[in-house]
A and B are shown apart, each in its own frame.
Chain A
Amino acid sequence: MKSQRRVIGSRLMVPLFVTTALCACSQSALLPLPPLPDLESLNSVPREQLRQRHAAVAALLRTGATEPEQLGYAFGQLGEIFHAYMDVTSAQTCYVNANALQPDVFRWAYLLGQAERTLGNHDAATSVFERALALRPDDVPTLVWLAEIDLEQHRLTSARRRFHQARAADPGCVKAYFGLGLVALEEDDYARGIGHLEKALAAQPEASPVLYNLALAYRGLRDMERAATLFEQSKEPHTPISFEDPLLGEVGNLRESANVYVRRGMMAADRGHFTAATQEFGRALAANPERMATRYNFASALLKLGRRREALGQLQELIEQVPRYSRGRVLLAKALADDGDDARAEEHLRRAAEFDPDSGHVHLALGNLLRNNGRFEEALASYRRAQQLDPGAGAARFGVSITLVQLSRYEEALTTTEGSVRALPDNRELKTVLARLLAAAPMDSLRDGMRALRLATAAAAGHHTVTLAETRAMALAELGRFDEAAGWQQAALEGARNAEGVFEWVPRRLSLYKQEIACRRPWEPGERISSLRIEGGGSDR
């Protein structure tokens, strides 16, 4: 049983009177130099950063006759490194000393305010930020942070005043308008809130916090339609309000760790900048070669760049490092399959299934591989297992449906897909399969052209792709509207014309419609859901 002891979390209450009473003359009045963390457990870059800056301060303290400016600067620099690596308590101590030694330096006052705020010491943060403001009036970041603390403490008058000051200093400051909007909403003054938030939105139309609060404001005015639209727009992915905080940015840029490289890599990958992503992931691995998630991401980015050999090498190493890492084996299998080595791909997937029998992801990947090789019964078993393990996985349900179609078990496919569409009503692929079954199943008793057209239209809303155009054509043909069907099929043909891959069925279906014959094969062997876009398209009557 662990012993009980009093802990006050990560806060360190530093009485303000200490910062004002310290004079620039006596080192003995300073707070003690914070100790270094266990350096041996750190990676080389942060270790050296901390060691150097800590040694610099220690050396100056040893001489005892250092100029306050020099010692203050050294403490500030050390504080920034502690701050960069999230040791905010040690950073706070250093900043307190830096402020005492260099009370007229805005930088230390500002960063001390940030440290106090991070530690939850709002009163101390307010006091220090106010000192910073006295040194640099109209500093927008300082005004904004002060205002936000006021808002958190429900000091609305003060918050309003500071946000207005920030706005006056920088008329383009979205945070200022946003803050004024929040103040108004705290007072249930929705009209005024809307005024401010609309200005914020004009400056940054995609800012999620603005969209969300604007929605709340319109809801407050009972304009539910406008509110609903804004709520929808505010959904994830979250886009924060753009706000430049140069000093905090400088502190953040000091950080050099695998974590930082990984974050940069992920951001680059999210934007589709895979070359930059591989560079960052590579640096992260060099700093910490044992991070398997990083090696996975590195390999993934390499695959996006078409650097398959390198990716395979990384994945092989990953599997050797952590043999039971099923996700790594799945990606390796995919890379091998893309390389044409289905046998080895299957081997890895089956091994992954041994290590991780409850992974829906593994069974899904196996199902896909087997289906691609025409082993439909085996694929069906894998897809069903994947669905059982993860009923919310649309891909597994799609796999079950499409495999039943390819086994010509149309009635079962229809019943199963109906159930899947009920469970996942927003899944486009499942709606597509259902629409095609209703449009083109060989048995008369299964077809329902009107329902097929409704589903095909719903699935295609905002998405003009080859597959969806063909689906709509099938439904129209089933209803005897062959001219329209041909129009949509022609559009699909145009879209597929210059694409890689097999699309031989596209002109074949067009030929059928021109002969006023409806399609009776919902899906061709080897046919995939295509994301190729079409221009224009046909039109429905």
Chain B
Amino acid sequence: MGLDFVHFNGMSGEYYLSEIMGAGGALFDYDGDGDLDVYLVQGRMLDPEKTASEALLPPPVGTPLSDRLFRNDLQDHHELRFRDVTEVSRIEADGYGMGVAAGDYDDDGRIDLYVTNLGANQLWHNDGDGGFTDVTRVSRTDDPRWSTSAAFVDFDHDGSLDLYVTNYVDLRIANNKVCATEHDQPEYCGPLSYRPQTDRLFRNLGDGTFADVSSDVGLIAAPGPGLGVVTADFDDNGWIDIYVANDQAPNKLWMNQGEGVLLEEGLPRGSAVDAQGRAQASMGVDAGDIDGDGDEDLFMTHLLMEVNTLYENDGRGLFTDRTAAAGLGPPSIGATGFGAALLDVEGNGWLDLIVVNGAVRTIRSLRSAGDPLPLEQPNQLFLNRGRGRFEDASAQEPTLALAHISRGAAVGDVDNDGDTDVLVCNNSGPVQLLLNQTDGHSNWLGVRLVGSSGRTLLGARATLSREDHAPLVRRAHGAASYLVSNDPRVLFGLGRSEAEAAVEVMWPSGRREYWPGLAPGRYHTLVEGEGAGSKGR
């Protein structure tokens, strides 16, 4: 298929924490031809005085050690095939790569990329000719800290995408620490061994530049070891909120009050800590209507011996831990979860869960077997049996049993067949593309939610209605999971229904529009201003 990529983590024997934390990727349509291309983030040796050949797990000879862009030739050749177009793209991203966010920051109809690194980040402007230009300095979006997940989000409703960057901990070669197992064997230290960093919010000024408003919105006063970020309107006040998953620190929920004001309310809203009142090692996170009541719930992954957590939203942005009732607790205790995604695997209208796993502490049995990086764990699939009650279906999916050190999980309809596929980014391992082979009897309807420039309006919410069925609510968002950017198209699973459906869209501007009589079995492009019943908030 052409997705020839193996992640290199730069493992040096010095136990730099960054070696086991990357990396991610993006599913996005960079060339505007209607199918999803793939961007994959690469690592390197952290110590600039060392070469890749000195790594404990050196990459295969001839492996280019930079991020890669793969073009999907589906539309041109009618079969799923990828081609490495990195050289043509002019992208030279050879930092210590972590994650990537995709979004059209300058509203020119072409999707740009923001790559996060341990070190300077990069904003790559999509020039439209198959190539990109590094506009980091010009745009003033650099952040030299250890950045992880990032999200493009219009937090101030001015029509331009702003940029939220999560930062992790203050790791440098000079302050690196080596921890030990209970047997006093060397081990990677965790985030508590380093100082947490503050996240960044860059406000888009609309002229190709950004202003760092982190101090103004209160981010500077609230450092945390951030790993995952997701955006949604949790309290349905019309403003997009930002949820940050912190590793062994309380998670943060920045509630958007409008007028550029964000208030951190994770603890009183019940989404900061677990049922014991303890901060967990939160890594990946996603938001979606898990229980079918029209609001957006939260799911996040945690460390071995901590359960993954499902927070149910009461519609007002108040959350309750429903992990036990959902059946998601016990299956996650033996795994360290990273990437997590909500997706309707079976196309029945209920959001299922995929969790990709990989340890951060040595698995003894693997070490005894001679594994030089003994952290592999199998991945998991949980099927939603209705109203947020899940069944562990991992054993039914042999592709998930192939254990890797999985980190990013990006979801999207890569083959445009109406179901959601999964791109799994593995640390020190090959990328995996899991194509959804759900039986063809399930029907579906997809929507692209765009503005007049053709830019996907991230944050737009779509509600699909059909006779005799409960409405389905989904939101266009790219940022979620861990270190990745997802397909922002909205896909509704319709089960066996072949009836036409109506879709109501709440745009980020506050306008509400309606499209009746949409036929299933295809994607529809819904443009703001062209729907019926157009009215402001």
Chain A residues at the B interface, C-beta cutoff of 8 Å: 1-2, 4-11, 37-38, 41-43, 46, 84-87, 89, 118-120, 122, 151-154, 182, 185-186, 208-213, 215-216, 219, 227-228, 231, 234-236, 238, 240, 255, 257-260, 287-288, 291-293, 324-327, 352, 355-356, 358-360, 390-392, 419, 422-427
Contacts and interface: CB of A to CB of B under 8 A. Distances in A.
Contacts of A219: 268, 270, 318
B469 interface: no
B267 interface: yes
Contacts of B172: 356, 358-359
A216 B320 contact: yes
List 6 A-B pairs, minimum CB-CB distance, nearest first: A212-B277, A356-B174, A7-B403, A120-B333, A423-B215, A120-B334
B175 A9 contact: no
A80 to B, nearest CB: 14
A120 B334 CA distance: 6
19 contacts: A6-B378, A46-B183, A89-B365, A118-B305, A152-B307, A154-B327, A185-B320, A186-B324, A208-B277, A212-B276, A216-B270, A227-B268, A236-B279, A238-B277, A288-B184, A293-B193, A390-B170, A422-B216, A423-B215
Interface string B305-348: 10100000000001010001101011101110000000000000
Given A1-B6, A37-B368, A325-B174, A10 B363 contact: yes
A325 B277 contact: no
A42 B327 CA distance: 40
Given A288-B184, A292-B177, A392-B223, A6 B401 contact: yes
Chain B contact residues: helix, strand, loop or mixed: loop
Contact of A86 (B181, B270, B307, B333): B181
B275 interface: yes
Most buried by B among A210, A287, A324, A419: A324
A391 B366 contact: no
Nearest to A50: B183
Contacts, number: 176
A287 B180 CA distance: 12
Contact of A182 (B275, B278, B404): B275
B60 interface: yes
B330 to A, nearest CB: 5
Interface string B167-202: 000101111011011111100000001010110000
B140 interface: no
Contacts of A212: 273, 276-277
Contacts of B365: 10, 89
Contacts of B305: 118
A87 B182 CA distance: 9
Contact of A154 (B198, B325, B376, B402): B325
B175 A356 contact: yes
Most buried by B among A7, A324, A426: A7
A303 B469 CA distance: 70
B184 A325 contact: no
Interface in B43-70: 57, 60
Interface string B197-225: 11000000000000000111010110100
Contacts of B371: 2
B433 to A, nearest CB: 15
Nearest to A260: B182
A211 B175 CA distance: 37
Given A234-B277, A392-B223, 16 more contacts: A2-B371, A6-B402, A9-B335, A9-B363, A41-B185, A89-B365, A216-B270, A234-B267, A235-B267, A257-B182, A259-B181, A358-B144, A358-B172, A391-B214, A424-B220, A425-B221
A214 to B, nearest CB: 10
B429 A209 contact: no
Contacts of B275: 182, 209, 213
B364 interface: yes
Given A234-B267, A288-B180, A7 B330 contact: no
Contacts of A153: 324, 329-330
A182 B214 CA distance: 38
A120 B329 CA distance: 10
Given A7-B378, A355-B174, A259 B428 contact: no
B388 interface: no
Contacts of B363: 7, 9-10
A426 B402 CA distance: 49
B290 to A, nearest CB: 16
B198 A391 contact: yes
Contacts of A86: 181-182
Contacts of B334: 9-11, 119-120
A288 B6 CA distance: 37
A89 B357 CA distance: 20
A507 B223 CA distance: 41
A504 to B, nearest CB: 35
Nearest to A425: B221
Contacts of B185: 41-42
B469 to A, nearest CB: 27
Contacts of A238: 277-279
Most buried by B among A9, A211, A390: A9
Interface in B406-422: none
A260 B182 CA distance: 8
B175 A209 contact: no
A293 B364 contact: no
B270 A426 contact: no
Contacts of A213: 275, 277
A238 B280 CA distance: 12
Given A7-B403, A8-B378, A1 B175 contact: no
Nearest to A290: B178
